[in-house]
């Protein structure tokens, strides 16, 4: 794939040098009701242990969330989300040498998380729920992941519509003062999409390069894999590996995963084939 025009995104003391290799985001769910069965709830020790393990296994960044995004999950107030994530964040920042992303679509939660030491915002609503998130990212000069999401699964022309929505979100972010090099896009596998939509997006991931920003792919243990393979979340490792490898072949720059040690190997092997050079 050679050199990338996407440049460098700085996240705390870490530099993401897009195009050199695929970066790994490890998922830490501080929820009691995660779809994947890995919700840690209020267990501070378990969260710290998982973060240390992810760091030792080769994660580049940790993504911490206090609200489940599984279909049918109950919304959580900003106060409750802050109660769940801020104490853990403060401990992780003090003990783990990796940047931490806050997985939230609420500006108030993002602001408190950044004050506690988070260095990136991951918004599953792509600024469509709370546009003020862009102002928070701009004020703090932190990277912002913009994901496509929508109510319902009705599309006329799937991929162009998702790209257009992401383009609108990028415009909102830049209009609020977020630097272009601080924007990362996510096509939103599993959010407002039926299984056939998710599979089509996977087939056409390279089209998202037209947006000119690095692509994050979040397929880990998702229902798309469960429906294709007829397997529960804790048996979707091989299916996740297939999506990660194919995603890298189509130009993905970062993957958000539950099973860090395995996906580090998948990424290194895929990078060696796709990117060549010394990326592994």
112 is catalytic: no
Range of the domain at 93: 22-274
- For position 32, what pLDDT does the model report? 75
In a domain? residue 34:
yes
**Given 193, 209, 236, 256, which residue is catalytic?**
256
| Contact yes or no for 100/110 (Cβ under 8 A) | no
- For position 75, what pLDDT does the model report? 84
63: Cβ contacts below 8 Å, ≥ 6 apart: 25, 26, 27, 28, 100, 101, 102, 103, 122, 256
Predicted confidence (pLDDT) per residue in 81-102, tens digit: 999 999 999 999 999 999 999 9
End-to-end CA distance of the chain: 14
| The total number of structural domains that make up the chain | 1
Q: What CATH number did the domain enclosing 115 receive? A: 3.20.20.20
Predicted confidence (pLDDT) per residue in 242-265, tens digit: 999 999 999 999 999 999 999 999
- For the cut 70, the answer to whether the pLDDT of residue 277 exceeds it is no
In a domain? residue 14:
no
In a domain? residue 47:
yes
- For position 33, what pLDDT does the model report? 59
Alpha carbon distance 255, 159 (integer Å) = 20
Predicted confidence (pLDDT) per residue in 151-208, tens digit: 999 999 999 999 999 999 999 999 999 999 999 999 999 999 999 999 999 999 999 9
- For the cut 60, the answer to whether the pLDDT of residue 34 exceeds it is no
- CA-closest candidate to residue 118, choices 96, 147, 134: 96
In a domain? residue 248:
yes
Alpha carbon distance 183, 190 (integer Å) = 21
Pairing assessment for the beta strands 254-257 and 216-217 based on DSSP bridges: parallel
In a domain? residue 98:
yes
Give the confidence band of 1 by pLDDT, cuts at 50, 70, 90.
very low
256 is catalytic: yes
What mean pLDDT is predicted for residues 49-76?
Answer: 89
- For position 2, what pLDDT does the model report? 43
**Given 21, 112, 222, 275, which residue is catalytic?**
222
In a domain? residue 5:
no
- For the cut 70, the answer to whether the pLDDT of residue 280 exceeds it is no
In a domain? residue 1:
no
> What is the CA 276 to chain-centroid distance, rounded?
25
Per-residue CA distances from 202 to 62, 103, 230, 243 (Å)? 24, 23, 19, 8
In a domain? residue 202:
yes
- CA-closest candidate to residue 120, choices 235, 257, 262, 9: 9
């Amino acid at each position: 794939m050679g050199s990338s025009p996407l440049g460098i995104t700085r996240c705390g003391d870490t530099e993401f040098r897009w195009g050199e290799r695929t970066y790994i985001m490890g998922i830490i769910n501080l929820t009691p009701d995660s779809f994947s069965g890995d919700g840690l709830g209020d267990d501070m020790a378990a969260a710290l242990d998982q973060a240390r393990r992810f760091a030792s296994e080769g994660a580049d960044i940790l993504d911490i969330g206090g609200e489940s995004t599984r279909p049918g999950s109950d919304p959580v107030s900003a106060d409750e989300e802050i109660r769940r994530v801020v104490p853990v964040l403060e401990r992780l920042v003090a003990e783990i040498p990796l940047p931490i992303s806050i997985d939230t679509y609420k500006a108030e939660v993002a602001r408190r998380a950044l004050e506690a030491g988070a260095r990136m915002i991951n918004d599953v609503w792509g600024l469509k729920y709370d546009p003020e998130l862009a102002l928070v990212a701009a004020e703090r000069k932190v990277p912002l992941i913009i994901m496509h999401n929508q109510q319902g699964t009705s599309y006329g022309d799937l991929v162009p519509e998702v790209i257009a929505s992401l383009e609108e979100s990028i415009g909102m972010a830049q209009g609020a003062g977020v630097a272009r090099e601080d924007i990362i896009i996510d096509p939103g596998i599993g959010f407002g999409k039926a299984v056939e939509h998710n599979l089509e997006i996977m087939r056409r991931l390279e089209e998202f390069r037209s947006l000119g920003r690095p692509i994050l792919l979040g397929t880990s243990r998702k229902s798309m894999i469960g429906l294709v393979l007829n397997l529960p979340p804790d048996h979707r490792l091989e299916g996740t590996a297939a999506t990660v490898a194919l995603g890298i072949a189509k130009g993905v720059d970062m993957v958000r995963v539950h099973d860090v040690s395995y996906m580090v190997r998948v990424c290194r092997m895929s990078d060696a084939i796709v990117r060549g050079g010394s990326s592994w």
